[in-house]
Structure 1
Amino acid sequence: MDRGAEFRRWKAQCLSKADLSRKGSVDEDVAELVQLLNGQEQFFTTSSCAGRILLLDGNINGFEVQKQNCCWLLVTHKPCVKDDVIVALKKANGDAILKFEPLILHVQCRELQDAQILAVRSTHGLEVPLSHKGKLMVTEEYIDFLLETANQKMEENKKRIERFYNCLQDALERERITDLHPKKKIIKKNTSYSHKKKRNREKACGKCVTEDNDKELENDDDPGVNVTIFPEDY
């Protein structure tokens, strides 16, 4: 079977399946982005989360929370308030962890070059233990501080989703234009001068301009079709 046809069949099959996530639908803040990706023939999404604040109760393996063996005490895709966390913490019997998780987007790509368009890295998360064996280990004042931090990250996450969406649109448009109009080789004409000194002077000047242009190209930070939206060290 043709690889393109096989990818289209796989895409149609995956997108026709029921949403098996806890929520059962795509998050509102990421719905437009998911629609954009699924509208391209070279992509389809397999799962997504716009970002969330959650409180988990379970055991910790080192510094890693095992989600499959824990209880979800609280989850929200909106800013969270302290009262909701305090009420949820009363149900904790193990080690309760407050987490903020940014945008999660799993995308199946047709080719490696298609996947390069979606190159994104981020460390925009938060994970803090609040209780141990059901006993609260921090003050309510500290919980206030954590929620303020988590809510700020949630707002920043929304801005990053919008920036990612806009940059992805630009990258796809540039790719489409490139496919329609392949770059043509540009041949520069040399200008002749009768006077030797003038010719040498213009030649030297031209060399300087060429070197400056080369430096501009080297320093050009236009990402092309490789869209890196979130800085590594943020």
Structure 2
Amino acid sequence: MANRFEARKQKILEQLDAPVGEYHDLSPKGSIDEPIRTLIGEINDLEGLVTTSSCSGRISVFLEGRKGEIEGDVSAAEGEDSRAGPGGKGGGGTWLFISHAAVDISNSSSPPNYMSMFGLENITVEEERAPGVSCRYIHLKFEPMILHILSASMAHAQRIVTAALTAGFRESGAVALGSTKSGESNPMIAVRSTGYSFDSIIGYYDEEGHNVPLVDVKYLSTLVRIANERFKINAERIARFRMALLESYYPQTASGVSRPGWEDADARKIRKKEEGLARQRALKNRNSQEDTVAECGSTNTDNVDGMFQQ
């Protein structure tokens, strides 16, 4: 009979195996992000691990929800949460833009129209108004990968945490231990890092329903370039995390190719050092032999000259 972890993993895998048209999760996009789809599959193939939620990293523009109940608000009357939380979520908050890949800015002759792309309206100077105290702000954010992994034991959880910290996801750790009366423990580990995320206010939602920008296009372009650089850092850390985690389970297949002669980092360092010493010895021996040949050639020449002089 399957234990609690195995039963839950089986259920999650069945959901992930659903056809594309039928699968849907709670993320804004409703599916697994393409940049980490392979990683998710590899983790779920490991014994004692299963992913429960993920985001590969994203640049987004988000309009905060309502910060207070509005008189006559239909959603409040229907029992829905009409007030946003501390981060602006809820209360009718809206995603104006989301991308899980760097924004393409390669075409310098026709740069992106960031105002339109991010749902902002070109308001002239005469129309600009200062935002009120309770206004809804518009945020441009970059958020690195976050990955939640359910583990079958503390030993499995420790492998995840070690790989995550090694890769640079410094805020990683257990967010739930999942202990039961029977003594079974299924820790939930969050792989995450906030060190290279950012959140910048770029506009607000006015009383007339306009998304008013607080910054110009040049500033938006700067934020996009910064976010694109952060995507590179994010991809590098994801790759390091993948290698470190897979090496802790199956060293011979960590690179995706089974190699009988696979060696870990310490073994490779020792081998490289030995190869370097061997090359130095070979070079020294060769130089010594060349010196010997040169000396012999000089002696023979002297003898031949002497014979002719006689």
TM-score range (shorter-chain normalised) is: 0.5 to 0.7
Gaps spanning 5+ residues in structure 1: where? 175-221, 223-234
Partner SS state of residue 160, structure 2: coil
2:153 pairs with 1:131: no
User: Percent of aligned positions with the same letter in both sequences?
Assistant: 29
Runs of 4+ aligned residues of structure 1 deviating over 4 Å after TM superposition are none
Matched letter for residue 248 of structure 2: A
Q: Do the aligned partners of residues 113 and 161 (structure 1) sit closer, same or farther apart at CA in structure 2, a change above 3 Å counting?
A: same
For each residue in 1:100-147, what CA deviation from the matched residue of structure 2 results, as whole angstroms up to 9, or x when unmatched? 111111111111221111113222211110013333211211111111
Matched letter for residue 73 of structure 1: L
Asked whether the 8 Å contact 2:65–2:90 carries over to 1, the reply is: no
- Structure 2 counterparts to residues 15-26 of structure 1, below 5 A: 15-17=13-15, 18-20=23-25, 21-26=27-32
- Number of residue pairs matched by the alignment: 174
Asked whether the 8 Å contact 1:46–1:107 carries over to 2, the reply is: yes
Identify which of 153, 156, 178 aligns with 1:114. Answer: 156
Gaps spanning 5+ residues in structure 2: where? 16-22, 68-84, 106-110, 123-134, 165-169, 171-192, 206-210, 252-265, 267-310
The CA RMSD over aligned residues, in Å, is 2.9
Question: Which deviates the most, 149-158 or 63-72?
Answer: 63-72
Q: Do the aligned partners of residues 167 and 84 (structure 1) sit closer, same or farther apart at CA in structure 2, a change above 3 Å counting?
A: farther
Asked whether the 8 Å contact 1:60–1:95 carries over to 2, the reply is: no
Identify which of 89, 106, 109 aligns with 1:67. Answer: 89
Task: Determine the structure 2 residue equivalent to 1:9.
Answer: 7
Distance between the aligned counterparts of 1:172 and 1:150, measured in 2?
A: 33
Q: Do the aligned partners of residues 66 and 28 (structure 1) sit closer, same or farther apart at CA in structure 2, a change above 3 Å counting?
A: same
TM-score by length of 1: 0.65
Q: Do the aligned partners of residues 125 and 34 (structure 1) sit closer, same or farther apart at CA in structure 2, a change above 3 Å counting?
A: same
Asked whether the 8 Å contact 1:49–1:103 carries over to 2, the reply is: yes
For each residue in 1:60-106, what CA deviation from the matched residue of structure 2 results, as whole angstroms up to 9, or x when unmatched? 97x95223331000001111257353113326993110011111111
2:80 pairs with 1:77: no
Asked whether the 8 Å contact 1:58–1:96 carries over to 2, the reply is: yes
For each residue in 1:161-187, what CA deviation from the matched residue of structure 2 results, as whole angstroms up to 9, or x when unmatched? 11111111112236xxxxxxxxxxxxx
- Structure 2 counterparts to residues 162-181 of structure 1, below 5 A: 162-173=239-250
Task: Determine the structure 1 residue equivalent to 2:51.
Answer: 45
TM-score by length of 2: 0.50
Distance between the aligned counterparts of 1:74 and 1:57, measured in 2?
A: 10
Q: Rg bigger for which structure?
A: 2
Asked whether the 8 Å contact 1:51–1:101 carries over to 2, the reply is: yes
Matched letter for residue 115 of structure 2: I
For each residue in 1:16-68, what CA deviation from the matched residue of structure 2 results, as whole angstroms up to 9, or x when unmatched? 2243133333222111211111001200011111111100011597x952233
